[in-house]
Chain A
């Protein structure tokens, strides 16, 4: 089928994707495509109120509706100690509400019926009596004296404060601010948005009453970790739990958490003895599953008289919703936000973070954020552009002046990150060159003289991905290694299984390419499987751009392990000494006599048919990789916008994106990831928003209100690249999946702020909808 079938498929080759065949024919195996014999369907009843006491639940009418097998309430779950479950951040979350509902959309009851239409009909017939309580819809509201206590279920919880967290050095930072030449402040809100993959979440729970085995098909980016959590929560023995994560229609972090629906469906299947399918609809997905961002941030940048940055101080209030359920490494409460010094050589910094409960859906770490790096990158890149404007400096020059220099790597930041490698000036220069920056600036000036509103925005992000070294990175205690198990068969073909899980990132191709490079078996001959916890080696899953840095490294390592065994086999076959053999991708040959060679396929066959004395048969292995450090992809993005003075609408005229993610395994796939991320960043900057009215009603809980860009609004992207390999990664690669969502929102917003800066406007919070831009212009006296 592919035009690239003839290619070996090693690192750097843009071979066409091996997984495409089934998707092109409509034969993908997404969760809702599975039908199990005797399967039932579940529908969840959700709270219409943001904060209310449950007075009573009447399920009599619902229970009598046609096709209904069972109606499950919190009370029933409580009898099985399943009304509450632990979250990935060490808090507890209600599975089905018992005492109170704490956000609009919270799960209250579930109907299990023969068909999904019947389940929904019966769900409408459940009667719940609520006593409405005052809702809290912001950290300010959560902090206010006399604010209602949201988590009165938690012993010892006296208010709505969740955590306080700090990083950096308060003393040295304070001192630097005290004698700074200039301090620039930005107060900005990164609003709540949502990963909203096109396929919603769901599961099919099939608990076999005879064998005791629970097979749960689940839209999960981290099936092994979830299996362990399930074992701890349900008490089912872990070897009797099998999670199968099938083809996923996107994830973007939405499919990491354990959702109440999964637990209820499993309990229902256990009690009823039949498989139970639950697939949420889009409204449920947007109103209740893991949202992203919702950070209120204030940044202060101190600069000396030469325009050098001398200190950074940041405070953030995090709106975590009703339960603290962030999926993030346990030692960090605000994720990796303290990467906030970004690409700049800032000698001292201090970050403080406070998290709050509110009457909104729980979550926060999601949507290609690299564990809150999106928020950090947005803050620093906006602050830097604002500082440049305030100081009368060119945005690009100000950045160049303050970049960490190439010779400073590995670089230890003021908050303790050890950046592995980078060349920020190079990426910036490639971007400016692509942009034609000098000519463009003259053009902007000329247009402004004619009364046009136009501007250029730049963002030079550094992000931190590849969690991570076990001593620092764990989820609920599970260290964040990852794994690759490689089996080479007698006929020289291979099966690679990994602990990560693709949701469209092309793992079936990319990781085969690592084997192709390291072991010389063509990528077409390497089958990659993920997602079934019974067969895949234990791993922590795919999110936060960790697959290539961690599982990719594991793949390289296990390939090298097998290559070393193959060397011994080749030596045996060639009757030569191991040290006299030269490896040339795909074969060993005797130094000086290249005609005496054995291919990797011949070695594989020998592993089962002709072994040296004492050697174990087989050519199979597994590697669990503990990364020594994170990887630090980076880039410079530049955006040009034109603003309609009459309506406030913004048009992106150009978008240049230069990325450096180290060695690119499949450039075509890498570019696809970047294009997708730039589009999500565009959506976040201009139209995506989940917000709440004063009664806690969620606005943005369907696609009429939660706006996702179509092909018509989405700009065309001009991509560029530089390559600064990671010095510690086995193949020099860094993660890249989230770079574009991390770096682009600030670029888009900086462009608009640059366009409005001649009118004295210094900030508009995202999304930059036309009414907000209009209001800023009007305030400055600009009209059509």
Chain B
């Protein structure tokens, strides 16, 4: 079956069997290997992508279901050479060690910050409770998300301080 979708802002497509999982389509057909496979029971979240802005597990979606939709993977976070605030946050707060869960974590976090620009620790932990990390123990991931939240609100704070110019 033919599929066509927007991935990281670009029109992408392919011809796949209906049974091909979205994660395999991204990794094998589109060669976007930043989305990872960590389990076989929809349990770990390493395969998280954004589907029309909402974080979902791409291992539990068929590529054909996503025909005509919008997908964002980790490769779509940065703007050319400029890292997204969430990526800066993960770097500055040592929110990654082996890096395998990191793409999923960052995408979930970026979606969270869209809805809730100033989340509490608990709100962050709740939002990432579908994503497993084996390395970090999550504390620095929470810090990374807060760092990004502060980064994103900083220019607005500066504007307010300057009299709203």
Contacts and interface: CB of A to CB of B under 8 A. Distances in A.
Contacts of A198: 36, 38, 44, 46, 98, 100-101, 132-135
A273 interface: no
Interface residues of A, number: 57
Question: Chain A's interface: helix, strand, loop or mixed, by majority?
Answer: loop
B165 interface: no
Contacts of B39: 281-282, 702-703
B58 interface: no
Interface in A271-316: 281-283
Contact of A714 (B35, B100, B138): B138
B69 to A, nearest CB: 20
Contacts of A712: 125-126, 129
A26 B33 contact: yes
Contacts of B100: 28, 30, 197-199, 249-250
26 contacts: A2-B91, A20-B99, A24-B83, A24-B96, A25-B78, A26-B74, A26-B75, A30-B33, A32-B37, A33-B33, A117-B19, A197-B100, A198-B100, A198-B134, A247-B98, A250-B100, A281-B39, A282-B39, A282-B40, A282-B41, A668-B94, A677-B137, A708-B44, A710-B131, A711-B133, A716-B121
B34 interface: yes
A3 B91 CA distance: 9
B30 interface: no
Nearest to B99: A23
Query: What are the 8 tightest A-B residue pairs by CB atom distance, in nearest-first order?
Result: A26-B34, A504-B98, A23-B99, A249-B100, A675-B137, A703-B43, A26-B74, A504-B97
A331 interface: no
A651 to B, nearest CB: 14
B110 interface: no
Contacts of A504: 97-99, 135
Contacts of B44: 198, 282, 703, 708
A1 B83 CA distance: 8
A654 interface: no
A27 interface: yes
Contacts of B40: 281-283, 702
Contacts of A506: 97
A281 B44 CA distance: 13
B91 A16 contact: yes
Contacts of B32: 26
Given A16-B92, A32-B33, A198-B44, A710 B139 contact: no
A248 B41 contact: no
Contacts of B46: 198
Interface string A657-682: 00000000000110111011111100
Given A26-B35, A710-B131, A710-B132, A672 B125 contact: no
Given A20-B91, A716-B139, A503 B98 contact: yes
B74 A25 contact: yes
Contacts of A22: 99
Given A20-B99, A199-B36, A711-B129, 9 more contacts: A1-B88, A17-B91, A20-B90, A25-B74, A196-B134, A679-B137, A703-B43, A703-B44, A711-B131
A714 B124 CA distance: 13
B136 A675 contact: yes
A398 to B, nearest CB: 29
Contacts of A248: 98
A84 interface: no
Nearest to A28: B99
A717 B136 CA distance: 12
Given A198-B134, A252-B134, A504-B97, A702 B41 contact: yes
B49 to A, nearest CB: 11
B138 A672 contact: no
A671 B140 CA distance: 10
Interface residues of B, number: 58
A505 interface: yes
Contact of A250 (B17, B106, B124, B135): B135
B64 to A, nearest CB: 15
Q: Which of B41, B75, B88 lies at the interface centre, i.e. has the most chain A CB atoms within 10 A of its CB?
A: B41
A703 B41 contact: yes
Nearest to A252: B134
Contacts of B92: 2-3, 16
Nearest to A281: B40
A98 to B, nearest CB: 28
Nearest to B107: A26
A202 to B, nearest CB: 11
Interface string B110-144: 00000000000100111011111111111111100
Nearest to A678: B137
B46 to A, nearest CB: 6
A678 B78 CA distance: 32
Given A25-B87, A198-B46, A669-B94, A676 B41 contact: no
Contacts of B134: 196-198, 250, 252, 676, 680, 708
B75 to A, nearest CB: 5
A615 interface: no
Contacts of B83: 1, 24-25
Contacts of A30: 33, 36, 100
Contact of A675 (B41, B129, B131, B140): B140
Contacts of B19: 117
B74 to A, nearest CB: 4
A704 interface: yes
Contacts of B132: 198, 703, 708, 710
A146 B68 CA distance: 65
- Residue in A26, A28, A702 whose Cβ sees the most chain B Cβ within 10 Å: A26
A672 B34 contact: no
B17 to A, nearest CB: 8
Interface in B12-66: 17, 19-20, 27, 31-41, 43-44, 46
Interface in A498-556: 503-506
Nearest to A23: B99
Given A16-B91, A198-B100, A504-B97, A27 B34 contact: yes
Contacts of B106: 24
Contacts of A678: 137
A503 B19 CA distance: 33
B75 A25 contact: yes
A714 B137 contact: yes
A281 B126 CA distance: 27
Most interface-central of B44, B74, B77, B96 (chain A CB within 10 A): B96
Contacts of B137: 672, 675-679, 714, 717
B87 A199 contact: no
B142 A249 contact: no
A199 B141 contact: no
Interface in A228-253: 247-250, 252
A72 B59 CA distance: 29
A248 B99 CA distance: 9
A711 B125 contact: yes
A20 B103 CA distance: 12
Nearest to A505: B97
B90 A672 contact: no
Nearest to B89: A24
B94 A672 contact: yes
A693 to B, nearest CB: 19
B141 A24 contact: no
A673 B98 CA distance: 11
A676 B78 CA distance: 27
A197 B131 CA distance: 14
Interface string A18-43: 01101111111010110100000000
A703 B101 CA distance: 15
Contacts of B36: 30, 32, 198-199, 249
Contacts of A2: 91-92
Contacts of A249: 36, 38, 98-100
